[in-house]
Amino acid sequence: MSAVETVHLFNGFQNPFGGSELETLAVYHLLSQQVRVQMWATSSKASPALLEAYPIQRLSVLHGRVPNGGNYVFFGAHWRNRIWPYLIARPRRLIYVFNTFHPKVLQLTSERPPLLRWPRTEYVLISEFQKRLLGIDGTVHPSPIDLTRFMPHAKVRAPDAPLVLGRLSRDTADKHHPDDLPLYRTLLAAGWQIRLQGATILAPDLPVTPALQLLPEGQIAAEAFLGGLDVFYYRTGVHVETFGRVVFEAMACGLPVVCHRHGGYADHIRHGENGFLFDTTDQAAAILAELQHDPALRARIGANARRTVEALFSPEALQARMLFLRA
């Protein structure tokens, strides 16, 4: 099948640091080198910063800003219970990049209104973990990452300098696990420096000390923030990561990652080889203690992490995904 003339990418574009927004922008960057691509903001609360920085149009039937056929690819947005799908050209293919576990979204995107004569939904899932838990049919394509942006950083460190452990995420309660609060206190007592971006929400529950930095989300570019860490740590609260883009960004930077086992990233982490997985806080503390006192282990795990991500996001793998979206 020849490539479609235009691929339309739909997203709310509300959060410059959101996973679905970043994935949409990454796909745009790759796909626009091959075919005509148009990005559409489906939300009235689209970020002014994103609208100014990228060629994103606000979808508006009233003002004639609508897609004109081709492949329609939705990232974290949907077309159900809206009027505009009935007033625009029918897509050649309808693709939904499903990046959550929410059953309501699955229902909204799988059941077509009888009067809307669009093709059936084709699902793109971003991890085998997500596919297993949902039990739905779909093609798995991990969210692309720019390996020229996220790269290992050479570090010059005094022998007695404290190690820096960190993580980044959105600055919301569901992104943080309550058991990490006592763990952070234990690590500070053990001589770690801790740098958490997207964690100002934790300030009332953690000590005020020069060894702890709590930054708002997006204050430092992700690649620069990760470049200042020695170890990347990640566990969420009620939020479950279908993929965990930030984990792979940390691995691309050559960092040893220590992550809770429950997430899409876990399928790609081989414990003790290219990263570490834990089930309990005690296990996490033991892993971090070992890394703190073994620089050779940190270097070996970090190098293997980089190689893993290079294979996962190889030019061949990315090309296969772009071929799927534009066919």
Among candidate residues 92, 108, 141, the one where a domain is terminated: 141
pLDDT value of position 2: 52
The reply to whether 213 and 137 lie within a common domain is no
- At residue 131, what are phi and psi to the nearest 5 degrees? -65, -40
Check whether residue 168 and residue 303 sit in a common domain.
Answer: yes
User: Domain tally for the chain?
Assistant: 2
Is 307 in the same domain as 184? Answer: yes
Tokens of 293: 């006192």
235-249 confidence digits (pLDDT tens): 999 888 989 999 999
Domain boundary among 90, 107, 141: 141
Co-location of 219 and 283 in the same domain: yes
174 with 49, same domain: the answer is no
Asked whether residue 91 falls in the same domain as residue 171, the answer is: no
151 occurs within a structural domain: no
**Position 1 pLDDT exceeds 60:** no
Average pLDDT over residues 265-279: 97
The reply to whether 150 falls in a domain is no
Whether residues 176 and 111 fall in one domain:
no
Q: Determine, yes or no, domain membership for 157.
A: no
Q: Average pLDDT for residues 195-210, to the nearest whole number?
A: 97
List the domain range (segments joined by +) for residue 266.
164-312
Residue 322 lies inside a defined structural domain of this protein: no
The 10s digit of each residue's pLDDT in 112-145 is 777 888 999 899 998 999 888 888 889 999 888 8
Work out whether strand 164-168 and strand 93-98 pair parallel, antiparallel, or are unpaired: unpaired
pTM of the model: 0.86
By mean pLDDT, which of 128-132, 179-183, 292-296 is the weakest?
Answer: 128-132
DSSP-derived secondary structure for 202-247: GGGGS---TTEEEE-TTSS-HHHHHHT-SEEEE--SS---SS-HHH
| Residue 287 belongs to some domain of the structure | yes
Q: Based on the fold, state whether residues 178 and 299 are members of the same structural domain.
A: yes
> Domain of 194: which CATH number?
3.40.50.2000
Q: How far is Cα 179 from Cα 140, in angstroms, rounded to an integer?
A: 32
- d(Cα 187, Cα 275) in Å, to the nearest integer? 19
Q: Which domain CATH number covers 116?
A: 3.40.50.11090
Same domain, 258 and 214: yes
In a domain, 319, yes or no: no
Indicate whether 128 belongs to any domain: yes
Position 102 in a domain: yes
Shared-domain flag, residues 28 and 97: yes
User: Which tens digit of pLDDT belongs to each residue from 6-63?
Assistant: 999 999 999 998 888 999 999 999 999 999 999 999 998 999 999 999 999 999 998 9
Q: Could you say which DSSP state residue 161 is in?
A: P
pLDDT value, residue 308: 97
- Give alpha helix (H) positions in the chain: 19-31, 48-53, 103-110, 128-134, 180-189, 222-227, 245-252, 281-292, 295-312, 315-326
Do 78 and 195 fall within a single domain? no
Of 110, 141, 172, the last residue of a domain is 141
- Residues 211, 92 share a domain: no
